[in-house]
Amino acid sequence: MSKPLVTEREVRRAAREGKKSLDVSDAVVTPSARDVAGALGVELTRGSGARGAPPEKQSTPGSPPAPNQSSTSATTSPPRPTVAVGADHGGVAMKNAVAEHLRAAGYPVTDLGTNSSDPVDYPDFAVAVARAVASKQAAVGIMVDGAGIGSCMAANKVPGVRAAMCYDVTTAANAREHNGANMLTLGGGLLGTRLALAIVDTFLGTSFGGGRHAKRVEKIDALDRRG
């Protein structure tokens, strides 16, 4: 008899219902379910069917890991890359939370606005962030608007930019590892701050996989040169 499968859908449902834990006894838990559980603060536990078993390991949003960070305390970590951030009026609060989170983790942050709730046009700020990435003033860009979609469209018009709109940690990891994304767009009206920070941490902490993905990304970049 096959074991039941626990996905991020079940975890999100538990979070919406206000549950702090979810019994996953005798179930197979997907990696994305563990990631979302960590982001939403839902503990995955084993019930009486697995007495004494420890809770499922799950990710928690914290300081984004530095690439190739050594486990030896005596080794000095490499400097963090500069991150350019931007937002329209619908994403300014989340943008500020992201910027504060990154600075606390040691990332140099270039804030390109906006910085108030006065209505502005998201393409202007998305392109500003994208140009900072394309010109290598920043290694990575993060843009927040209401849904994250329009800013992604605008940013991808800038040659050299591979922007990805991510809505969970799985899409964030995929965007970096498979697609070599160098800019992240977020929907400030669709995501909670806790999950958004987990997405940011995953995006920055995941390296491009290279290999079979490299030639595919090269084909994406070649579209910029064709005009």
| C-alpha atoms less than 13 angstroms from C-alpha of 69 in its C-beta half-sphere | 12
CB 39, CB 172: distance < 8 Å: no
Residue 174, phi then psi, degrees to nearest 5: -65, -40
Extract the tokens encoding 33: 């379910």
CB of 161 closer than 8 Å to CB of 134: yes
Identify whether 213 is a catalytic site residue. Answer: no
d(CA 134, CA 159): 7
Cα dihedral 198, 138, 222, 211 in deg (nearest 10): -50
Give the full edge-to-edge strand order of the sheet including 109-111. 109-111, 83-87, 140-145, 183-187, 163-165
Q: Which of 89, 101, 178, 213 is catalytic?
A: 178
Contact (Cβ atoms closer than 8 angstroms) between residue 115 and residue 157: no
Which string of DSSP letters, residue by residue, matches 168-212? SHHHHHHHHHTT---EEEEETTTS-HHHHHHHHHHHHH-----TH
**Residue written as token pair 């995941």:** 206
Backbone phi, then psi, for 16, in 5-degree steps?
-65, -30
- The residues assigned a catalytic role are 178
